[in-house]
């Protein structure tokens, strides 16, 4: 299998962390690529020129980080990251993490292309409000059973999104505003799969 990725994408990092946690890294070749450069090798596997993409041993090209994560979860022998009895809870948490990553990533991309004024647009304001609401809900729910479970896909997606906020939007100061969420996230962020794949 081949995983197309870069070092700054929260979505690609989720796919890579799942590969590490599932013990699949020796079966996955990492293909480093800049998605914004419209490289032919990426467009050949994803006409949207977005990462991550996972090409499977039988020649399918999977896009979308959560779909790649579900596919890899079926492959490796180690514990399921979406265990059947807790499926809905885990997917619900993964959805919250993905929404946080989407709002953060689109804020960063908006600023990159249009400057800080992109935060003042209708969409920019919606993204900032969405992040505030998501963080408040997640901080309130740190004692939910899903947060206490062994590592699962929800944890991975959420912790990557929170680390992306530290990386790209530190002024949001989510740790100061929601210390209980930071207390939950830090052990997840300290795992080998996270430190090996740190944003840079
Ligand atoms: N929903 C997608 C988002 C993927 C995405 O937006 N990737 C970014 C990198 S962080 C990208 O490749 N952007 C290039 C572009 O949009 O042209 C996923 O979960 O994989």
- pLDDT, position 196: 97
- Show which of 75, 93, 110 is a domain's final residue: 75
Pocket of ligand 1 (CB under 6 A): 9, 11, 35-36, 49-52, 64-66, 105
Closest CA to 134 of 190, 108, 172: 172
Supply the pLDDT for residue 194. Answer: 98
| Atom in ligand 1 nearest the alpha carbon of residue 52 | 20
Between CA 73 and CA 77, with CA 75 as vertex, the angle to 5 degrees is: 90
User: Is 8 part of a structural domain of the chain?
Assistant: yes
Question: Which residues span the domain enclosing 61?
Answer: 2-75
Distance 51 CA to ligand 1 centre (A): 5
- The CATH number linked to 19 is 3.40.30.10
Q: What average pLDDT values come out for the chain (200 residues) when binned by 10 residues? A: 98 98 96 97 98 97 98 93 96 98 98 96 98 97 91 98 98 97 98 97
Cβ(185)–Cβ(148) under 8 Å? no
User: Do 156 and 17 contact (CB within 8 A), yes or no?
Assistant: yes
Q: Spell out the residues 6+ positions from residue 71 whose beta carbon is closer than 8 angstroms to its own.
A: 54, 56, 62
Tell me, in angstroms, the distance from the centre of ligand 1 to residue 122's CA. Answer: 22
- The pLDDT score that the predictor gives to residue 143 is 85
Closest CA to 95 of 65, 122, 121: 65
Continuous segment of H or E residues that includes residue 61: strand 61-63
The total number of structural domains in the chain stands at 2
Quick one: how far is CA 53 from the chain centroid?
A: 14
Which of 176-185 are b and which e, b meaning 16 or more Cβ less than 10 Å from the residue's Cβ? eebeebbebb
Last residue of a domain, one of 44, 75, 106: 75
- The two beta strands, 2-5 and 29-32, are parallel
- For residue 80, what pLDDT is reported? 97
Check whether residue 101 and residue 174 sit in a common domain.
Answer: yes
């Amino acid at each position: 299998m081949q995983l197309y990725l870069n070092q700054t994408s929260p979505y690609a990092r989720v796919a890579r962390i799942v590969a590490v946690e599932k013990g699949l890294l020796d079966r996955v070749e990492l293909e480093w690529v800049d998605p914004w450069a419209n490289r032919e090798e990426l467009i050949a596997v994803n006409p949207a020129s977005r990462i991550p993409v996972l090409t499977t041993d039988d020649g399918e090209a999977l896009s979308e980080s959560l779909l790649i994560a579900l596919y890899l979860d079926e492959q490796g022998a180690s514990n399921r990251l979406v265990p059947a009895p807790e499926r809905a809870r885990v997917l619900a948490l993964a959805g919250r993490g993905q929404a946080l990553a989407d709002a953060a990533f689109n804020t960063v991309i908006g600023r990159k292309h249009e400057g800080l004024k992109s935060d003042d647009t209708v969409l920019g304001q919606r993204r900032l409000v969405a992040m505030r609401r998501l963080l408040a809900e997640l901080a309130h729910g740190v004692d939910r059973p899903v947060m206490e479970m062994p590592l699962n896909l929800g944890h991975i997606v959420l912790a990557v999104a929170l680390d992306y906020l530290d990386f790209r939007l530190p002024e949001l100061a989510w740790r100061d505003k929601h210390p209980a969420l930071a207390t939950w996230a830090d052990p997840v962020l300290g795992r080998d799969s996270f430190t090996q794949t740190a944003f840079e």
